[in-house]
Structure 1
Amino acid sequence: MKFEVYCDENHPELFTSKKPSVDYLMIGSLWLPAELRKELKLKIWQLRETHNVWGEIKWRKVSQSRLEFYKALIDLFISYGEQLRFRSIAINHKQFDGNRCQQDEELGFYKFYYQVLHHWIFDYNQYDIFCDLKVNRELDRWSILKDCLNNANLMASIDSIQALPSRQVVLIQMSDLLLGIASARMNKTLNHGSAKELLVEHLENKLNRKVGATFRGEHKFNIFEINLSGGW
């Protein structure tokens, strides 16, 4: 079966910042059967028309005036059940040791990208992966990540990994929105009574649980809080 994955990241500056403002760097991914892409994009377009909201969909753009539109996007995500899944990884910068990646923070970042993708790749499937465009010091980071994923998943096929501007890819924008919700809860950045808090609570009501770190078997809205300290 053919799948598509749309990825974004939140607080990537934490690996290098001298004065971090939050604890967790996060990478998120939206997973769907490729055959659903056109239908899903059409439904998002219809929601734009209904609510007269245009421009890029982003967590930072959630406001009181656009709250009903963003709630409708959450309802759309929920309506597909496990056909549409979100998975993210939360990395506590306090646990990150540059020695694990030869003092190369960029390499460390892509090792975590590997972690968020590898564990949801299943045998006999094909995957196209789309990531938000970012400037890399090493130009072959994405091709190396693709090779590593293929080498680790011999019975599956990662056909492509592409880095694209998020403003051109609405499903990367959707991933940004869901990742923003995950990050806001993990990093405790919500202001009481704000539109963003109301949106997070809307998703939590649909999930029947608080947003937070989950077990591996959670398929709909998964947050993997990786433990870099070792242990069981």
Structure 2
Amino acid sequence: MSQTYNVYCDESCHLENDKQKAMVLGAVWCATDKRREVAERIREIKQKHGLSKQFEIKWTKVSPSKLAFYLDVIDYFFDDDDLHFRGVVAPDKNILEHGKFGQSHDDWYYKMYFVMLKAIFKPQSKYRVYIDIKDTLGAEKISTLHDVLCNNAYDYSRKMVERIQQVHSDEAEQLQLADLLIGALSYLHRGLSESTAKNAIIERIRKRSGYALLKNTLQMETKFNLLIWEPRA
């Protein structure tokens, strides 16, 4: 019997003209039958630190007063064998030459989504992909993304990638976790370092993952998988 997985995707600095150098795409995934257990465990961590169950984990909310909470969340991710992460960093969007490859920025964006997800997808399994609702990714783009993912994976009957849909991040703890992890990667790869709390989270991820976060992990890495993407010459 095939296993079904929920894949929660988020993105940072993905727009073409947002004046940000690095783009990060990331996904947290777990077996569908584990999603409720994971969400409840994260809510317990929130309550342990005096926060509401409805408190939304976000990289932009990281502060010294909540550092212990966010470190606990990072430790929980690394301690729970049911949770996995894949991140793709495009270090410098300014060097992209879309015209040279006959594509638009949107075309490239879809391709990067496939680059991120193809390391997660296994032919014998089924996947339900959930993407944080953002004004820049409407229903039409979601449909196109589904087409691109299925076609690239030879999944023309959509048996493997069952669905792609938008969700609000406050409704899915796993999506909040994805936001935290890609936020750390984006902060690092944009060369930022002003926040001691954010620096501490990056260091904890480095320590727990065993990776410096500046180079590719092994391709078969299943816990914290990272690709630093470089365009073809």
Taking structure 2 as the reference length, the TM-score comes to: 0.87
* Equivalent position of 1:99 in the other structure: 99
Is 1:162 equivalent to 2:141 in the alignment?
no
Query: Does the CA contact (< 8 Å) of 2:114 and 2:152 recur in 1?
Result: no
Q: 1:221 and 1:212, CA in 2 relative to 1: closer, same or farther beyond 3 A?
A: farther
> What secondary structure, in the 3-state scheme, does the structure 1 residue paired with 2:85 have?
strand
| Bigger shift: residues 103-112 or 198-207 | 103-112
CA distance in 1, matches of 2:171, 2:83: 20
Taking structure 1 as the reference length, the TM-score comes to: 0.88
What does residue range 1-232 of structure 1 map to in structure 2 within 5 Å? 1-13=3-15, 15-17=16-18, 20-21=19-20, 23-54=21-52, 55-81=55-81, 83-91=82-90, 92-99=92-99, 102=102, 104-136=104-136, 139-154=139-154, 157-191=160-194, 194-215=196-217, 216-230=219-233
* Root-mean-square deviation (Å): 2.1
CA distance in 1, matches of 2:148, 2:137: 19
What is the number of equivalent residue pairs in this alignment? Answer: 224
User: Which residues of structure 1 form unaligned runs of 5+?
Assistant: none
> What secondary structure, in the 3-state scheme, does the structure 2 residue paired with 1:140 have?
helix
Structure 2 residue identity aligned to 1:71: L
What do the CA deviations read for 1:124-179 (whole angstroms, capped 9, x no partner)?
10000000112248742212221222233346610110112222222111100011
Query: Does the CA contact (< 8 Å) of 1:146 and 1:161 recur in 2?
Result: yes
| Bigger shift: residues 206-215 or 178-187 | 206-215
Q: Percent identity?
A: 25
Query: Does the CA contact (< 8 Å) of 1:84 and 1:220 recur in 2?
Result: yes
Query: Does the CA contact (< 8 Å) of 1:53 and 1:69 recur in 2?
Result: no
> What secondary structure, in the 3-state scheme, does the structure 2 residue paired with 1:16 have?
coil
Query: Does the CA contact (< 8 Å) of 2:39 and 2:172 recur in 1?
Result: no
CA distance in 1, matches of 2:130, 2:101: 24
Query: Does the CA contact (< 8 Å) of 1:106 and 1:136 recur in 2?
Result: no
CA distance in 2, matches of 1:44, 1:72: 9
> What secondary structure, in the 3-state scheme, does the structure 1 residue paired with 2:165 have?
strand
CA distance in 1, matches of 2:202, 2:36: 27
CA distance in 1, matches of 2:30, 2:148: 22
User: Which residues of structure 2 form unaligned runs of 5+?
Assistant: none
CA distance in 1, matches of 2:34, 2:137: 35
What do the CA deviations read for 1:161-203 (whole angstroms, capped 9, x no partner)?
01122222221111000111122222221226x1111111122
CA distance in 1, matches of 2:134, 2:60: 18
Query: Does the CA contact (< 8 Å) of 1:26 and 1:88 recur in 2?
Result: yes
> What secondary structure, in the 3-state scheme, does the structure 1 residue paired with 2:207 have?
helix
> What secondary structure, in the 3-state scheme, does the structure 2 residue paired with 1:41 have?
helix
CA distance in 2, matches of 1:137, 1:177: 20
